[in-house]
Amino acid sequence: SELGRREEALMATQEAVELYCQLAVQYPQAFLPDLASSLTNLG
């Protein structure tokens, strides 16, 4: 986002949240930390 590509970064993070959410349902120990990190990045 520091390079003026905030919208692209936001879209990529939202996509990551969706994917990690789906994965965390099946494999919580493996993917909950990644989901939490992605949610933190959304602010």
Tokens linked to 7: 């919208």
As a dihedral over the C-alpha atoms of residue 24, residue 28, residue 31, residue 32, rounded to 10 degrees, the angle is 90
How many CB atoms are closer than 10 A to CB 35? 20
Q: Check if the beta carbon of residue 13 is closer than 8 Å to that of residue 41.
A: yes
Tokens linked to 3: 């390079």
| pLDDT at residue 2 in the model | 62
Burial label, 4 (beta-carbon count in 10 A; 0-12, 13-18, 19+): exposed
pTM score: 0.81
- The 10s digit of each residue's pLDDT in 1-43 is 566 788 898 999 999 999 999 999 999 999 999 999 999 998 8
